[in-house]
Amino acid sequence: MPVTTQQLIQWKQQRRSIVALTAWDYAIAQILDAAGVDLILVGDTMAIVLGYETTLPITLEEMLHHAKAVRRGVKRALMVVDLPFLTYQESPQQAMYSAGRVLKETGAQAVKMEGGYPLMVETIARLVQAGIPVMGHVGLTPQSVHQLGLKQQGKTQEASERILLEAIALEQAGVFSIVLEHIPSDLALQITEKLSIPTIGIGAGVHCDGQVLVTSDVLGLSEKQPPFAKVYVNLRETITKAVQDYAVEVRERKFPE
Ligand code: KIV
């Protein structure tokens, strides 16, 4: 049975932890889906896989292109696509147009957007009223890298209260779930206990209702990882070795046999 947004909310109630990862193409999506990942995010961190320095340059067209490939690989997981920088912040109309394109053209079930109160609240409420499921994202929001850097957020009393209020405002606006990125674990716990929708943490400690990581970090494909990422396998090393072995065999005329 395909995972739905309502199911994620039920899993929170049942305290079943939600497993989320990012994907950027058909093969990766197929592997993650078959391995039982619950939520597959076509995150704008895909920009890094495409060789950009930050998530800012990636365009809606690039996200749509990759999201269509991911869709072809996903049968069970809930598929969510990030709206990239400046494709939704300008106005609710701009957000509606971008989110509408994502749902119509890729077959994804939901969109994610960064930011909270006050800018995103009205926009998200309008999208939800139009039938578009939206995932929120607060704490470290990489599209604001030039304002926030990539450091942990919510460390002062004032900053942590602001993030809590943003999360509450996003729930009231109608998000079905919310990503908490790089915030202290006790703040993530407070938000998770306060909200009825599931929190999905990345660098936010163990108390969230689920966890997400960037798959290229998990697989050891990224050149550098954030401090909270865990590398489960070093594919950079594995691929380098395979390619070197192939090169030796071609040069020594051992392949093909
Ligand atoms: O773009 C992305 O991969 C994300 C995750 C970091 C949650 O937003």
How many Cα atoms occupy the beta-carbon half-sphere of 97 within 13 Å? 11
- Write out the CATH class of domain 5-251: alpha beta
- Whether residue 181 lies in the annotated active site: yes
Chain mean pLDDT for the chain: 97
Q: Which of 181, 237, 252, 257 is catalytic?
A: 181
Beta strands 210-213 and 18-22, pairing class: parallel
Residue 192 Cα to ligand 1 middle (Å):
19
Within 6 Å (CB) of ligand 1, which residues are found? 22, 41, 43-45, 82, 137, 179, 181, 202, 212, 214
Q: Which two tokens stand for residue 7?
A: 């199911």
- pTM for the complete prediction? 0.97
Residue 184 Cα to ligand 1 middle (Å):
18
Render pLDDT for 183-227 as a digit per residue (tens, 0 to 9). 999 999 999 999 999 999 999 999 999 999 999 999 999 999 999
Q: Give which of 218, 133, 223, 135 is closest to 181, Cα–Cα.
A: 135
Taking CA atoms only, the protein residue closest to ligand 1 atom 8 is 43
Beta strands 134-139 and 210-213, pairing class: unpaired
